[in-house]
Amino acid sequence: MSAPSTMPDTHPDFKHRVATALADTKVCEAGERATRRQDGARRKILTELPDALATRKLAARIKDHTLQNLDRYLEQLVANIRRLGGHVHFAANAEQAREIITGIARDANARKIVKAKSMVSEEIELNHALEQAGAEVMETDLGEYILQIAGEKPSHIVTPAIHKSKEDIGRLFTEKLGIPYTTDPPTLTAAAREVLREKFQNADMGIIGANFAVAETGTVCIVTNEGNGRFCSSHPKVLVSLMGMERLIPRMKDLPVFIKLLGKCGTGVRITCYTSLITGPRRPGDADGPEEFHLVILDNGRSRILGSDYREALRCLRCGACLNACPVYRKIGGHAYGAVYPGPIGSVITPLLGSLDAYADLPTATSLCGACLEACPVRIDMPTMFLRLRNDLLRRGHVPWRWRLGFKMWKLEMRCPFLYRMGTTIGRWFMRLRAKDGWIRKLPMDAAGWTAHRDFPAMDAEPFSKRWKRLQQNKEESR
Ligand code: SF4
């Protein structure tokens, strides 16, 4: 039996994609359960830090300082990696990055490539380019491997197959790996491991991301929970690390601050199982490690963000905590965003890395509740950025005239008590006219969305100002 398809809907209309996602109740439930569990685990484990808020503020300060001096720290990183015998490449955009990496594979005659999880590689659509160049690319993170054989895209930054149940995976492995159907996680993991071990042993080239790059030492740090990153980085002769240019930290002594936060905020664990530090290629006497080490540093719109009011977004550690905390992400899942980076941080950086016109709906995919800011280990103020992006949208003419007129009238009303009273009286009258048993089943025009999935309460017959006065009077009299 084949697994039900949960390929992201590529319909350009965000609302259509959301409706499609909400209609898939099984996927919604699996995502909601998993995100709530991870968010709960994060809250609990953070209490183990003596002063979590102070650590988060420190992490934010280190990132801000790095971004402020990014040119200097990049120079330092590049000099150190070259001193160690590694190669550094700069890619201005996705196309250049793909060309550089396929070129490295071609020069090394690498036909078999193993890859650790890397969102930047998703951003540049690396696998497709390598496969077109004739290489076999194998994802080795379990979640990514599941998605690769299912032909799907990740729906979460950290747990890419979060939308899949163990029943889905059981069916998929039966179909693709030919094992008897089971939902037992250890049996499924063992089946994937058997396939992956063979791939690790025969790989010509490894590709990893970079959670952090330490400028002071030229070290790339990756964290994984499965050890696959370590296999990818230590066994193949050629290793490529692909990083966004913002993933720098200045000193080795800054690293523990981030390691402490990343596991806790990402998956609610004290620390991720494997923290690997790669400092250049293998040296004489080393037991393992690559003979060739390449670091590819990707811009792809990041320097534009660096020079804008949205610089703070480059603090992001890609921990996924804001996704787990977000009530919108929990309901619609990652594929509905139609972008590589989903959730609150995705709704901020996708329009900034790409184009605001192409992703005009994303800054509205939020309730502005502030849960993302509260969850973020580096305290990125995403709610304020959503408002700024909406302001940008307004200036670029993305807001319909009806809305602009409505907000102008609302502004007028808020400034003039007489108009406010008149507006609310008309509104109350209109709503009560449409209501049945105190509830409105259907609102017209742009307000129809409010009643598409639930009823809307009619306004009370007595205005709040009158009720307030009456309550105050009653209080006075009872004294
Ligand atoms: S914005 Fe913050 S919470 Fe969201 S992924 Fe980035 S670091 Fe994590």
> What structural domains and CATH numbers belong to the chain?
27-166+203-303 (3.40.50.10420), 313-395 (no CATH), 412-478 (no CATH)
Q: Write the residue with the smallest CA distance to atom 8 of ligand 1.
A: 319
| Minimal-distance CA residue to ligand 1 atom 2 | 376
Atom of ligand 1 nearest to the CA of 348: 1
Mean pLDDT for 326-330 is 96
Instruction: Please give the distance, rounded to the nearest whole angstrom, from the Cα atom of residue 278 to the centre of ligand 1.
Output: 24
The ligand 1 atom at the shortest distance from the C-alpha of residue 319 is: 8
Q: Mean pLDDT of all residues in the chain?
A: 93
Expressed in angstroms and rounded, the spacing between residue 452 Cα and the centre of ligand 1 is 32
pTM (two decimals): 0.89
Hunting for tokens 């953070």 — which residue is that?
46
For residue 375 and ligand 1, the question of a CB distance below 6 A is answered with: yes
CA of 56 to the centre of ligand 1 (A): 12
Q: Tell me the CA–centroid distance for residue 3 and ligand 1, in Å.
A: 31
Is the Cβ atom of 262 under 6 angstroms away from ligand 1? no
Is 313 a pocket residue for ligand 1 (Cβ < 6 Å)?
no
How much distance in Å is there from the Cα of 265 to the middle of ligand 1? 9
Reduced 3-state DSSP string for the chain: CCCCCCCCCCCCCHHHHHHHHHHCHHHHHHHHHHHHHHHHHHHHHHCCCCCHHHHHHHHHHHHHHHHHCHHHHHHHHHHHHHHCCCEEEEECCHHHHHHHHHHHHHHCCCCEEEECCCHHHHHCCHHHHHHHCCCEEEECCHHHHHHHHHCCCCCCCCCCCCCCCHHHHHHHHHHHHCCCCCCCHHHHHHHHHHHHHHHHHHCCEEEECCCEEECCCCEEEEEECCCHHHHHHHCCCEEEEEEECCCEECCHHHHHHHHHHHHHHHHCCCCCCEEEEECCCCCCCCCCCCCEEEEEEECCCHHHHHCCCCHHHHHCCCCCHHHHHCHHHHHHCCHHHCCCCCHHHHHHHHHHHCCCCCCCCHHHCCCCCCHHHHHCCCCCCHHHHHHHHHHHHHHCCCCCHHHHHHHHHHHHHHHCHHHHHHHHHHHHHHHHHHCECCEECCCCHHHHHHHCCCCEECCCCCCHHHHHHHHHHHHHHHC
Question: How many Å lie between the centroid of ligand 1 and the Cα of residue 164?
Answer: 22
The protein residue with its alpha carbon nearest to ligand 1, atom 6, reads 316
pLDDT value for 26 = 84
For the stretch 184-194, pLDDT in tens is 999 999 999 99
Residue 7 confidence (pLDDT) above 50: no
Does the Cβ of 319 fall within 6 Å of ligand 1? yes
Question: Is the model's pLDDT at 5 over the cut of 80?
Answer: no
Q: For a substitution probing ligand 1, which of 212, 259, 380, 386 has the most ligand atoms within 8 Å of its CB?
A: 380
Mutation to probe ligand 1, out of 67, 305, 318 (largest number of atoms < 8 A from CB): 318
Q: How far is the CA of 159 from the centre of ligand 1 (A)?
A: 14
What pLDDT digit, counting tens, does each position of 215-260 carry? 999 999 999 999 999 999 999 999 999 999 999 999 999 999 999 9
Lowest mean pLDDT among 10-24, 64-78, 310-324, 438-452: 10-24
